[in-house]
A and B are shown apart, each in its own frame.
Chain A
Amino acid sequence: MNEYIGIAVSLVLAGVISGAMVLLGSTLGKKNPSSEKLAPFECGKDPFTLPMGRFAIKFYLIGILFILFDVELVFLYPWAVVYRSLGITGLVELGIFLGVLMAGFVYAWDNGALNWR
């Protein structure tokens, strides 16, 4: 159980600090509401609408390219932590891994996935 105490402390701290900020902001802050300000914000889109209308497919392409770099980062972080113990072998292996990922990126680039047209 002991090893979870640190997590519990940080949860409590996070809760107290963020709760205090919201509380202080809502009690002491100056209010100047307008309809634009009160609307919930989510990437420029209204979050609660019926799924009608059209949505540019270009966003999905960007989403897929984002996953490419996301995966790359997921593997780079643990590698960076144990970099010294892995040594040159780890560097070469990660180079091959990045090469494979980048081949996909070069393909997407080559075929115009980055052109916003």
Chain B
Amino acid sequence: MSLKFPIYLDNHATTQCDPRVVEAMLPYFTEHFGNAASRNHPFGWEAEEAVEKARKQIADLIGATAKEIVFTSGATESNNLAIKGVAEMYAERGNHIITAATEHKAVLDTCKHLEKQGVRVTYLPLNGDGLIDLDMLRDAITDKTILVSIMYANNEIGVIQPVAEIGKICKEKGVLFHTDGVQAAGKIPVNVLSDNIDIMSLTAHKMYGPKGVGALYVRRRNPRVQISAQMDGGGHERGMRSGTLNVPGIVGFGEAAALCQKLMPEESVKHRAMRDRLRATLEANLEETYINGSMEHRLPHNLNMSFAYVEGESLLMGINDVAVSSGSACTSATLEPSYVLKALGLGDDLAHTSIRFGIGRFNTDEEVDYVAKKMIDVVTKLRELSPLWEMFKEGIDLSKVEWTAH
């Protein structure tokens, strides 16, 4: 099979919409365009039926019941709704939230916003593998703690947190547990019951669905979780999220969830094999590469590697027919290297040289092999250009050199 360029290997950023998902969505733009909230004519009934089917499909993927799924515009909204909604609803019970340093900005910035309103937030540090320390979590919980928000799997390093244990601790302590499940759901088995999850953020576009539609799982029993709406309006979605439902998007989300559930056993094995081969090829041909984050507790389709002495943006420039991303400062809007990699205790120098690969449903073995070969060529070329590589080869300890930052 001939390769088609550019090759997309950035499936943690977003995924291609599966053609089967698009197919399922199409009738809901034209023939069945009704408002799911229209209770008194067939247009509304059809739309509502489609939404309820999707709700069930999404609930099935995570072991929930359909009534526990609240549709939103995406995971950023879901994270905002979960954290702000709990903080507001449970304000009388306490004002302390626990989260972790490597959370997505939608969680961290929401927490920062709440801090300005007097909520106290603990940001747990991570160990070098990217995992939180359960004892530290246990110790951080006080009688004022109302919520723990720890992501299921990280979007940069793919590290999977011990969610079931976190959920268990929260249950014991009577604290609600929210998890950002965006990277994990549809890729690895996620079950809100066995994982003791009370609230979970989801989004369609990370699981081969459309952009602009997400969901929040809100537990209804044991305990019944309540959330204050963050938007006023018609009282849709059990009063938690007003706004006319994005019916085609929701239908696509449902179809995407059903496909992921069906394909997961086969896909996770396939993607893991592709990822492992990519890693093995890179490591066999390049010295001084480093894996960022635990390899054992990691999403099957994620690889995050640093290529020492080669700056990430220049690396991306060299592999410009491949779409991946880097933790280098130069590639970020803030001009800061990845805060996730920094939280692992990696020096900024390794963050600057990191590349994230995310394998997805539409990638082939040929593509992965091409990317590996291209990476090897470009890293080798750029190392010939790198004064740091030269110094390393001369046996100079770079940590002992007196650099003067500019």
To the question of whether A and B form a pair in one complex, the answer is: no
